[in-house]
Amino acid sequence: MSYRQLNPYPHIEQVLIVLHTARQNYTLIKKVAHAFFALTLVSGVGLSGVTEAAADTKASAIVVDANTGKTLYQLNPDAQRFPASLTKMMTLYMLFEAMASGKVSKSTPIPVSAYAAGQPPTKVGFRPGQSISAEAAILSLITKSANDSATAIGEYLGGSEQRFAVMMTNKARQLGMRNTQFRNANGLPDPQQRSSARDLALLGIALREHFPQYYDYFSTRSFSYQGRRIVGHNRLLGKVRGVDGIKTGYTRASGFNLVSSVNVDGKKLVAVVMGGTSGGARDAQMAKLIEQYLPAASRRDGGNLIASRKNSKAEVAAIDLPDSANAPVPVPVKREEAMAPAEDVVTAYAAPTPVPSTAARILAVPAASPKAEIGEGDVSEVDPVTTASAPSGGWMVQIASVGSPEEAKAMLSRAATQVGGPIASLSPYTEKFQKGSQTYHRARFTGITSAKAANNACAALKRQNFNCFAIAPQS
């Protein structure tokens, strides 16, 4: 753009000369803008006097009194943002729920598939076929934010990471998280994976309320695993009075994220900062918010603020642990990656369109209907069968569970037409199953002779944006 195009108003000639000169040092302007916005966040200054360009930022934050549910501070609290490794909070919620129900113990070995082992850093660094105990997996997520461990948990609990992501989103709906959708277990970049500061505050409160027996894990600063000392990323632990967790996260698209829980003399806060410009700036913002709003918190315990699973009206599919011998192994997906110090891998996606703020109190947000969709299929009814024998035996790939056989057949036909290649020679197959009073129909391709062929078929389907997981033949 030329200088004259920038100057439609001659009477502000001198101002534009200054601006035109300043444009030659874009890096300086960017740093000044970031510093200015960080100042508005930590000081609690509103955005009414900030220009529209400055308001259009990735930053969002919320501070909630965890005793009463009252929102003490908010900045774009319902705007959808990339959660990055804050995703692992829900992965841990699902694992804690399985442990509380007796389906998993602390010593349960969680197998690590080739797909899980192939996740980019940060990670523990497994070889395919190794396993990790549930407790060590928990600690690796909380301290190192291990992507390989998170994926292994997702595959173990859901049969595939994709199916586990549906279960995670279903759980989010149940907890009242309206602006959240999960696509994977670890928070690695996906343009459709998103959450909000308010939703993550809800999740932080739910973790403490629903699983007090496991909550102390979040205060872990380091642990030893196979002779190695693994040190955590949460630098506020032990430095800011009362901070006892929860989770950090970073990608290029998300900026630096942090959820913190605070407990001081009976006063409890959960605070969220998303879109920080650096790890240090994010930590400073969080520390300032805690210092400023802890005095306003109540010591009065209002009881559980988030409905437990038993009391919720939302129907959620049970966790069906797969037989480890038949657990499907997804195809590794290549991701653009670049390391950030002591945080997570990163990539570049544009931030999604923000959702306007609609409530000032966290408890005033009603739970959304659990009938929202992720790709194809209904998230409120996760197919409870992970493995089943095909009509002619062999491997299968499933792309959906839907409400009618006609819809299932139409999806299979569309997939065969769009994907071609390894799909064109396969046999479409629909299978009816009952869940409660509802009938559903699985859309599957059969006639697959090997695990490699099934994985290749799934890879081709996913490239065309079809959901897919492989199903091993039953012995």
Strand residue runs (E) in 68-188: 71-75, 109-111, 131-133
Catalytic residue among 145, 160, 196, 254: 145
145 flagged as catalytic: yes
- The first and second tokens of residue 66, run together, are 């965890």
Query: Nearest CA to 95 among 146, 143, 162, 155?
Result: 155
Residue 106: how many other CB atoms lie within 10 Å:
12
CA distance 125 to 297: 42
Single-letter amino acid, residue 199: D
| Site of tokens 């694992």 | 95
Catalytic residue among 58, 88, 144, 462: 88
With residue 292 as reference, give the H or E element that holds it.
helix 279-293
| Site of tokens 């007090």 | 212
Query: Nearest CA to 162 among 144, 132, 186?
Result: 186
The helix/strand/coil state of 205 is helix
88 flagged as catalytic: yes
> Which of left, alpha, beta for 377 (phi over 0: left; psi -120 to 50: alpha)?
left
- Which residues, 6 or more positions from 1, have their beta carbon under 8 angstroms from its beta carbon? none
Query: Nearest CA to 252 among 353, 348, 184, 350?
Result: 348
Q: What are phi and psi of 260, to 5 degrees?
A: -125, 140
140 flagged as catalytic: no
Catalytic residue among 85, 113, 149, 260: 85
b/e map of 418-442 (b: 16 or more CB within 10 Å)?
Answer: ebeebbeebebbbbeeeeeeeebbb
Would you give the distance in Å from CA 60 to the centre of its chain? 16
Residues recognised as catalytic: 85, 88, 145
